[in-house]
Structure 1
Amino acid sequence: METFSNFCIYHYKEIFSTNTEALDLIDKGIFDETVIIADKQTNGRGRTGKRWLSPEGNLYISFIINPVGKFSEFVFITAIAVGHTLLSLVDNLGVQYKWPNDILIDGKKISGVLIERKSYSNWLVIGVGINIVHAPLQESTCISNYCNPLSNMDLLTMLIINFNKLRKQWILNGFYDIRKAWLERAFKLNELISIKLADQLLSGIFTGIDTDGKLILKQENEDLVYFDTGELF
């Protein structure tokens, strides 16, 4: 176990899932904020139970934090931390944030965020995957397409620094600045989109997110519909 910026870091060569390990660690009782990092996951998962392909060489981590405030806002804090980390590697990268939990470069997915918690616990688990040298899906990309790759531990160090800066900003100023920064790079903002909810598909103009992070969709009849879940197309 290592320690960096007040996080205890557990580094595994191979693991079932960093989020699963983090949730199990909460059950066992922890006292300090923690990061789980794995070189490879055998059963990584994304949002809505989708499998997150996890070959060795990319970044797979889970933060365990004890936040004060709305848990839902941390998906935006974390997305921006990933964005700042990527932008520090290469200037003028086409980084965008796709609601609710993806980070894109030039329209292709490079990172995703998965937030989970247990109802009886104040601890929050924030899973993050970033493609460093592998882009497992055709519509994805990786850091090595834009610059020399770096190790997962070096990338984690940069991500922790950016995450902590944004968390301090959030504690001082609330969600306003986070929301503004996210919207500046929002994917398909002010464009016609579709939102899939189970077997329902709704279309309209993506006009922004509200103060709770809900997506705002303006329909053809000018009605506004708010979403706290769904898939954006």
Structure 2
Amino acid sequence: MLGEAARAAGYRLIVRDAVGSTMEEARRALDQGEPGRLWIVARSQNAGRGRHGRQWGSPPGNLYASLLLTDPCEPALAPQLGFVAGLALHDAVARLLGPAAAALRLKWPNDLLLGGAKMSGLLLEGESRAGRLNVILGCGVNIASCPSDTPYPATYLKALAPEASVEALLAALSDAWARRFAIWSEPGGFGPTRAAWLERAAFLGETITIRLPEGPLSGRFTGLDPTGRLELETETGRRLIDAGDLFFGQPA
């Protein structure tokens, strides 16, 4: 069930036992005229995917959710919703972890790490129809289990919070999203959103490597610019990165 704050803000919920992916369920709902502010949650997926079409393993016991938003903002601002979603996810998991939440960090652009290991990933997709922007935010959180065959460390919530459940995390996440989205939607709202995200950022001030279409680029991660682009100090000067994969663990 959604949290009280989410329901008060007009968000609704559909729960499925098994789907191909919640992202595709959200897209199907959009095709059928769904007005938005709709959470779609599945107990399992058989065609879950992450960024760049990567497969996302989806065994029962973890959270698989997508949020459909219709006309949430101007198209140029849509990438900022990824930071809003990351903060909401951090808030929700921190609520269930208690003191252990000190080890939570947000990895640019879309992962939540616990003790340096990946616990969750986010996927943001947008499209324009009849001049209106529609956005689907997908979220997968390891609650009861995590994959063991990944090129990076992974972990799951119950390892440190045995009482955690899909239901408890969904309630916390939906409420956290409603609060964070309301803050961001205020005039100048990306300022506090950006500051809050940076307070929780992984690898800030460290040398990182970003995989770009033209090849890997290394430099010191110094922050986010006022529009949300990653700031990287390289040997040849400052670079602003719109999108890419940040290596952690052993680059693949």
Question: Of 85, 94, 99, which aligns to 2:92?
Answer: 85
1:200 aligned residue:
215
Q: How far is 1:199 from its partner? A: 5.1
Partners in 1 of 2:12 and 2:183 — Cα distance?
22
1:100 counterpart letter in structure 2: P
1:132 equivalenced with 2:146 (yes/no): no
Match of 2:66 among 46, 62, 66: 62
Q: Deviations for 1:84-123, whole angstroms, at most 9, x for unmatched residues?
A: 1111112242111111011111111111110112232422
1:79 Cα offset (Å):
0.5
Equivalent of residue 145 in structure 1, options 159, 173, 176? 159
Query: 1: CA distance between counterparts of 2:82 and 2:163?
Result: 25
Are 1:106 and 2:115 matched, yes or no?
yes
C-alpha offsets along residues 20-64 of structure 1, whole Å, 9 cap, x if unaligned?
110111111112421100000101000111111110000000001
Amino acid at match of 1:108: A
Q: Which residue of 2 aligns with 1:48?
A: 52
For 1:114, give the aligned amino acid: L
TM-score, scaled to structure 1: 0.94
- C-alpha deviation, 1:77, in angstroms: 0.5
Q: Secondary structure at the match of 2:162?
A: coil
Once the two structures are overlaid, the 10-residue window that deviates more, 90-99 or 157-166, is: 90-99
**1:190 counterpart = 2:205:** yes
Measured in 1, the distance between the counterparts of 2:19 and 2:227 equals 34
TM-score (norm 2): 0.87
- Structure-2 residue corresponding to 1:28: 32
1:75 correspondence with 2:82: yes
Partners of 1:19 and 1:127 within 8 A in 2:
yes
Secondary structure of the 1:13 match is strand
Instruction: Please tell me the root mean square deviation across aligned C-alpha atoms, in Å.
Output: 1.7
Structure 1 residues 175-184 or 197-206, which shifts more?
Answer: 197-206
Residue 153 of structure 1, CA deviation: 2.3
Moved over 4 A (4+): none
The sequence identity of aligned pairs, in percent, is 34
Number of residue pairs matched by the alignment: 232
| Counterpart contact for 1:132–1:149, Cα < 8 Å | no
In the aligned structure 1, how far is the partner of 2:36 from the partner of 2:223?
Answer: 36
Question: How far apart are residue 150 of structure 1 and its match?
Answer: 2.9
Q: Which ranges of structure 1 fall in alignment gaps of 5 or more residues?
A: none
Structure 2: stretches of 5+ with no match in the other structure:
248-252
